[in-house]
Amino acid sequence: MTSTSTGHDASALVWFKSSYSSSGDGNDCIEIATAPGVVRVRDSKHIGGPQLALARQAWADFVAHASGS
């Protein structure tokens, strides 16, 4: 497995999580942030940990599949 930097300053990102995450322990979810050309995904319990950087179309395909669309 390799790690690649996208060259984007992750500290400047605005992270949010789904309103569906509010039930129970609201920290057991993922957070997303948009950056030029990508959607970044991280674990809300480990905000300083690794992030996935997905192409916008890959994120859209994932959301469509996960929602059953």
Report if residue 11 sits inside a domain: no
Please count the structural domains in the chain.
1
Report if residue 29 sits inside a domain: no
pLDDT score recorded for residue 7:
54
The parent domain of residue 63 ranges over: 34-69
Closest CA to 20 of 37, 4, 44: 44
Could you count the other beta carbons within 10 Å of the beta carbon of residue 17?
15
pLDDT tier at 2, thresholds 50, 70, 90: very low
Report if residue 2 sits inside a domain: no
Report if residue 8 sits inside a domain: no
| 55-65: pLDDT as tens digits | 999 999 999 99
Report if residue 13 sits inside a domain: no
Taking the whole predicted model, whether its pTM rises above 0.75 is answered as no
Report if residue 18 sits inside a domain: no
| 9-46: pLDDT as tens digits | 666 899 998 777 665 665 678 899 999 999 999 998 89
Q: Which residue has the higher pLDDT, 9 or 54?
A: 54
